Amino acid sequence: MIIWIASYPKSGNTWVRSFLTAYYFCDNGIFDINKLNLIEDYPNKQFFKEKVKQGEIHKHWESSQKDIRDQKKVKFLKTHNSLITAFGNDFTKPEYTLGVIYIIRDPRNVITSVKNHNDLENYEKALKFMQDENKVLDDYPHLKNYAKTNIVNSWRINYQSWLSNKSLRKIIIRYEDMVKNPTQTFEKLVTFVNTLMRFDNKIDKNKLKNAIDTTNFKSLQNIENEGKFGENVYSLKDNRKIKFFYQGPENNWKKNLDESMIKKMNEYYKKDLKFFDYEN
C-alpha cells in the first residue's frame, strides 16, 4: 500500500520526504542523504515492467500500483501528479493507497521557485507555467524518459484534485507551518503516519527533534553545497546546474514580486488564498 507525499512542484515535497526519511529510516532521526532514495519518485521507470511510450504514462499507473500493493508492504512515494483520471485511467485508487500527505505552499512564493527551477526568463512565464491547466512534466526531452511523466496540471487543479477526493485519508501540510511551527507541524505529520500504519508507539521526542534539525532548509542546502544531493536539474540553455534548495524560508513574495505581479496573483488566486488562510 502507498502513502503518497503529493504536491505541486516546488512546494516543499523534498523537505517532507527528507523529514520522513530521517524519522522512519535513519538512526536516532539523524538524516542520512544516502537513504533519501528509500522514498522514491513516482512515476519512474523502476516501477514499470514495460517501456513507457510518449503520452502513455496513464496506461501504467494501475498495474504498477497493483504490484506495490501485492508486496504487502507500506511504501512512501513522492509525486507531483494530479489525482486525475486520464483516458479512463485513475492515477490511483483506494485499494492501492493507504493515505495522502499533501503539501501546499503560497502560490506567490511557489512562483519564484518555479521560475528558478525551470530556468524561466521572467515571472510572466512562470505564472503562465503555474496556470497551465494541461501542464505535463517529463524528464529532459533528449533523455526520452517518459516513465517520469507527471501530469501536474495547474497549481490550482493540482491541489483541488487531491483535496476534493473523499475516498482517501489525507493530511494537508502548509509549507509556511513547517517554517513557523516545525515541531507542532511535524508532530502532527508523524501522528498521522503512525495512525495509518497502526503503530502503537508514541512519538519519540528526541528522534523528532533530530529529524527536524537535520532536515531544516539550511541543513539541506549545506548538503547540496557539499555536492551530496543528486537530484538537481540542469539548464537546457547552457547545461548549468540549477540550485535546488534556492531561497526556502527566505522566499518572500513581498520582496520578490513587483506591484503589478502581486496584484495579478492576488486577483487570480483570491479564493485560493482565502481558503488556505494566506494573507491577501
162 part of a folded domain: yes
27 part of a folded domain: yes
Tell me how far apart the alpha carbons of residues 197 and 201 are, in angstroms, rounded to a whole number: 11
Q: Average pLDDT of the chain?
A: 89
* Among 43-57, 174-188, 207-221, 253-267, the least confident range: 207-221
115 part of a folded domain: no
14 part of a folded domain: yes
pLDDT level of residue 230 (50, 70, 90 thresholds)? low
236 part of a folded domain: no
pLDDT level of residue 186 (50, 70, 90 thresholds)? very high
252 part of a folded domain: no
Specify the number of domains making up the chain.
1
Pairing of the two strands 89-90 and 85-86: antiparallel
pLDDT of residue 231: 54
69 part of a folded domain: yes
Single pTM value for the model: 0.90
pLDDT tens for each residue of 87-137 = 999 999 999 999 999 999 999 999 998 988 777 879 999 999 999 999 999
pLDDT level of residue 243 (50, 70, 90 thresholds)? very low
Contact 102, 170 (CB under 8 A): yes
Pairing of the two strands 40-41 and 97-104: unpaired
Greater confidence (96 vs 222) lies with 96
pLDDT of residue 200: 75
149 part of a folded domain: yes
User: Average pLDDT for residues 69-84, to the nearest whole number?
Assistant: 96
Domain that holds residue 72: 2-109+133-229
- Say yes or no to pLDDT of 234 above 70: no
Dihedral over Cα of 130, 12, 18, 66: its sign = negative
C-alpha distances in Å from residue 186, one per residue of 50, 68, 69, 85? 38, 26, 27, 31
Tell me how far apart the alpha carbons of residues 158 and 164 are, in angstroms, rounded to a whole number: 10
User: Average pLDDT for residues 234-260, to the nearest whole number?
Assistant: 63
In the chain, % helix, strand, coil (3-state, to 5) comes to 50, 15, 40
CATH number at residue 42: 3.40.50.300
